[in-house]
Amino acid sequence: MLYRIAADSLVLLHLCFILFVLFGGLLALKWRPVIWMHLPAAAWGVAVELFHLPCPLTRWENLFRHLAGQNGYDGGFIEHYVLALIYPAGLTPHIQLGLGALVLLINLAVYGWIIRQWKRRGAV
């Protein structure tokens, strides 16, 4: 049971990390130090999508599921709703390139806006 809880917790952490990669730059509008956590996370998110790198969280999720005696991601709320967001059906390398570009564009836009705001305030 503990391994299943660990696997489910990692799925939620994975989703939170993905959301932080996509939208964490917006937190920097309010809290500037977030930039130093978000920039490496965003770079990792872009690299994973563009270069098809394996995510270590996925490896740990699968290990915990195996240790819990599970074969896959079937059953339960988390598996049914959250995993479909992280691992959508039909995900191809071409779609991953588009997702990587989307992450990059969102973050370039956010950080461009932040830099303009800082320049207006004379903070840069």
The answer for residues whose C-beta is within 8 angstroms of residue 2's C-beta and 6 or more apart is: none
Query: What is d(CA 75, CA 43) in angstroms, rounded to the nearest whole number?
Result: 33
Q: Alpha helices of the chain — where are they, by DSSP H? A: 2-27, 35-51, 56-67, 77, 83-86, 93-121
- Taking only the tens place, the pLDDT of each residue in 71-123 is 654 444 455 556 677 777 788 888 888 888 988 998 899 889 988 988 888 75
- Taking only the tens place, the pLDDT of each residue in 4-63 is 888 888 888 888 988 898 889 889 888 889 999 999 999 998 888 788 787 788 788 888
Query: What is d(CA 112, CA 106) in angstroms, rounded to the nearest whole number?
Result: 10
Three-class SS of residue 109? helix
Model confidence, pTM: 0.67
